[in-house]
Amino acid sequence: MANGRFAPSPSGPLHLGNLRTAMLAWLFARSSNGRFAMRMEDLTTGAAPVAEAEQLGDLAEIGLTWDGPITRQSEHAERYRSALMQLEDEGRTYPCFCSRREIREAAAAPHGEVGLGAYPGSCRTLGSVERERRAESRPPALRLDAGAAEVQVTDALKGPLTSTVDDFVLRRGDGVAAYNLAVVVDDAAEGVEQVVRGDDLWTSTPRQVLLGRLLGLPIPNFAHVPLVLGPGGERLAKRDGAVTLADRKALGETPAEVRAALARSLGLAKPGEEPAMAQLIARFDPARLPVETWAFHAGR
């Protein structure tokens, strides 16, 4: 049994790529007789009841069910404070005053210490006097002192990945918990054992595994699924036309037809079939899932 979850940000309607990932997360959990939870990752959006209701409605229309109440990151600030206090007490954090521009410029410099996009540790060794001076003009973010730890993760679909973890942000300058901290703490608190999500998040996984280990939390299994692409070859977005369930319904398609199209893209249905989600469980085999992206054309 592997308990799973789907955790969208309530920033607007889900597109078909989101629905496809949700379907896969549901199938991973249900095919192993696991629980399936729904969490709103609303730290950056704040309360968005309209968007949340639209998303939950779309998921229900294509046949997804979930266990227990909906959880929301905005309700769990105390969880994140407790985790930060543990890391601070162990000397694993430091304040960072760098702007995004300064980080980009430092990471791109030819010093060879870190990869492009990784934090180069500019604020790690600042003394207390300099920290106080900088704090007068900029509220600091809080970073993990990762100690250049090398972490290996094995994904159910993508195989192994070994990465040197940089000093990533745990709390933003505005005091809000960063995604990597929140998702690790929430998954552990909510008993999530299998994380299924888009493979655009694959390279951030070693960060989350390291953080979970430092906090003494159970580490879930991971399955990063290929993204859905739009007609231009980039990840599907609302600009690509009729890509939401509401859009497809406006074109005359039923939720069952949309579900069938998603199932066909995963090799779980044949043309002309409209299987229910319960029927897909018996057909589901992670080893047979397509590893390539699916290109969706809104006119079809």
Is 96 part of any known ligand binding site?
A: yes
Is 11 part of any known ligand binding site?
A: no
Backbone angles phi, psi at 223, to 5 degrees: -140, 110
Residue with token string 């809080």: 142
Residues ≥6 apart with Cβ < 8 Å to 60: none
Is 119 part of any known ligand binding site?
A: yes
Q: What is the three-class DSSP state of 111? A: coil
Residues ≥6 apart with Cβ < 8 Å to 136: none
Is 123 part of any known ligand binding site?
A: yes
Is 98 part of any known ligand binding site?
A: yes
Task: Report the amino acid identity of residue 239.
Answer: R
Is 6 part of any known ligand binding site?
A: yes
Whether 97 and 134 have beta carbons less than 8 Å apart is answered as yes
Is 31 part of any known ligand binding site?
A: no
C-alpha Rg value of the chain to the nearest Å? 21
Whether 285 and 266 have beta carbons less than 8 Å apart is answered as no
Is 9 part of any known ligand binding site?
A: yes
Residues ≥6 apart with Cβ < 8 Å to 167: 94, 96, 119, 121, 124, 143, 144, 145, 146
Is 7 part of any known ligand binding site?
A: yes
Rounded CA-CA distance 199/186 in Å is: 20
Residues in binding site for ATP: 238
Residues in binding site: 5-9, 41, 96, 98, 119, 123, 179, 197, 238
Residues in binding site for L-glutamate: 5-9, 41, 179, 197
Residues in binding site for Zn(2+): 96, 98, 119, 123
